[in-house]
Amino acid sequence: MDFLHVLNIAEKNNGVSTGVKWIPTTGETITSYTPVDGSVIGTVNTADRNAYDHVVQQAQDAFVEWRKWPAPKRGEIVRQIGEALRTYKEPLGKLVSYEMGKSLQEGYGEVQEMIDICDFAVGLSRQLHGLTMHSERASHRMYEQYHPLGVVGIISAFNFPVAVWSWNTMLAWVCGNTCVWKPSEKTPLCAVACQLIVSEVFAKNNVPEGVSGLIIGNREVGEWLSTDTRVPLVSATGSTRMGKAVAAAVAQRLGKSLLELGGNNAIIITKDADMDIAILGALFGAVGTAGQRCTTTRRLIIQEDVYDTVKDKLVKAYGQLSIGDPLNEKNHVGPLIDTDAVKMYLDSIEKCKAEGGRFVVEGGVLEGKGYESGCYVKPCIAEAQPEYKIVQHETFAPILYLLKYKTLDEAIAIQNNVPQGLSSAIMTLNLREAEQFLSYAGSDCGIANVNIGTSGAEIGGAFGGEKETGGGRESGSDAWKAYMRRQTNTINYSTNLPLAQGIKFDI
């Protein structure tokens, strides 16, 4: 698989596939522009309703076969995908960087996350355990087991165009499900590339056609998935607005949804922080991926005694950032995904100023040579108040708000007092502060870190958050359970039928 091969497949065969086969479609054409220099990379035809129905039907049919494969045999397929990803790490990482605009390092890092989740899923394929319980009745046995759900719909966002799909898919596959993926229409070629990598492995191993469905399309395609009773689980990553629409549609038919939505992540920097770690953690968290991770650090809550020190160090560090072509490894910050994102960034800066925010590092759009796409912006820092409307809101851009606190209770209240609840961190060497932050009365987020920033979570932990973040957990730990249905089994090997709770029912 190289870049031209991806383009060729995308343009000749459209963006709809059941695994190895590409499906004809008459859906509208979308054009993929790179934010690196604004040029067109390629075009893809989106799914029309017929093509969509074909993919879901094929996924349903394939499920009947795929669920018969022993889980470790399915794990073996995922192991081979992990091997293929190792082979294609460089071209795939570059494509991610080129189509999405994240730095090359982060493009490779994203493919590494895919490899890691494959390894995790291979081990998991031998550990889809249920518990056993002791029955209250003599000569009875009780246990629980996990069965696959069926067709899993996956809606993913542009910012992690390949990794988030793999977190969902690799687990769903070892669990015995088939998957139908609707990637972001902003990064269609990354999705085509993943499908090609998978199809090589599937063809070699005679995996039933339909195990890996791809349906590139716009919002309407997402709605088809959400309302489709043939799809028992929809896993969606993206904005809170999108997640609410998906959740409502899926709940309407009593399906399951797994949501990983917006974050408004904060780092509390106490006066007992290791300052070097705190500054580096805040810097990477705020400007990495140009502020377009759902785990991006958006707020720094700083103890008043060290507030000026932190501010000065950050201003200095921001002055050393190089912004430009993400494929050039010297650059720390690449472009935003498109000019709409730039508009939202500028709009948030204006709103912050209107509410009284004071910028200590000014933002703005970069112009001139190398910045022709109009998508490169300056990471900026504003001194703000926790209650500003804009501070409560997730802007998917590198804008960092500095907030001041006196006591840790106050800092934790500020940290929690936003609608989102994804990632959080405290920088402190003080055990009491760290434990309070991690306690029931501490951070209310799905992720709470000590002396590590808010972004860059490892795949081994369950990933997701509370409140408007949606409550779902993906990736490691026991997140696999979301992709299975639990069944409780009671077996009677006695010679009569004792009823539970001692009930007598004699005739």
Q: Which residues make up the interface to ligand UN1 (CB under 6 A)?
A: 159-160, 164, 237, 293-295, 455-457
Q: How far is the CB of 397 from ligand UN1 (least distance, A)?
A: 14
Q: How far is the CB of 89 from ligand UN1 (least distance, A)?
A: 16
Residue type, 140: H
Instruction: List phi, psi (to 5°) of 497.
Output: -125, 75
CB closer to ligand UN1 out of 25 and 237: 237
What residue is closest to ligand UN1 based on CB?
457
CB closer to ligand UN1 out of 89 and 137: 89
CB closer to ligand UN1 out of 60 and 239: 239
Rounded distance between C-alpha atoms, residue 446 and residue 443, angstroms: 9
Q: What letter does residue 27 receive in the DSSP assignment?
A: P
Provide the token pair at 170: 């690799």
Instruction: List phi, psi (to 5°) of 390.
Output: -70, -30
CB closer to ligand UN1 out of 211 and 418: 418
CB atoms within 10 A of CB 2: 12
Q: How far is the CB of 471 from ligand UN1 (least distance, A)?
A: 15
Which residues are catalytic, by number?
260
Q: What angle do CA 460, 465, 468 make, to 5 degrees?
A: 155
Q: How far is the CB of 113 from ligand UN1 (least distance, A)?
A: 6
Taking Cα atoms as reference points, which of 33, 32, 29 lies closest to residue 372?
33
CB closer to ligand UN1 out of 111 and 207: 111
CB closer to ligand UN1 out of 415 and 449: 449
Q: How far is the CB of 269 from ligand UN1 (least distance, A)?
A: 19
Rounded distance between C-alpha atoms, residue 463 and residue 456, angstroms: 11
Going across the sheet that includes 380-383, the strands are 358-361, 380-383, 399-405, 297-303, 265-269, 423-427, 447-450
Rounded distance between C-alpha atoms, residue 405 and residue 47, angstroms: 51
Beta-carbon contacts of residue 284 (< 8 Å; ≥ 6 apart):
453, 455, 456
Q: How far is the CB of 285 from ligand UN1 (least distance, A)?
A: 9
Quick one: residue 363, left, alpha or beta (phi over 0 = left, psi -120 to 50 = alpha)? beta
Sole residue written with tokens 């902003």: 186
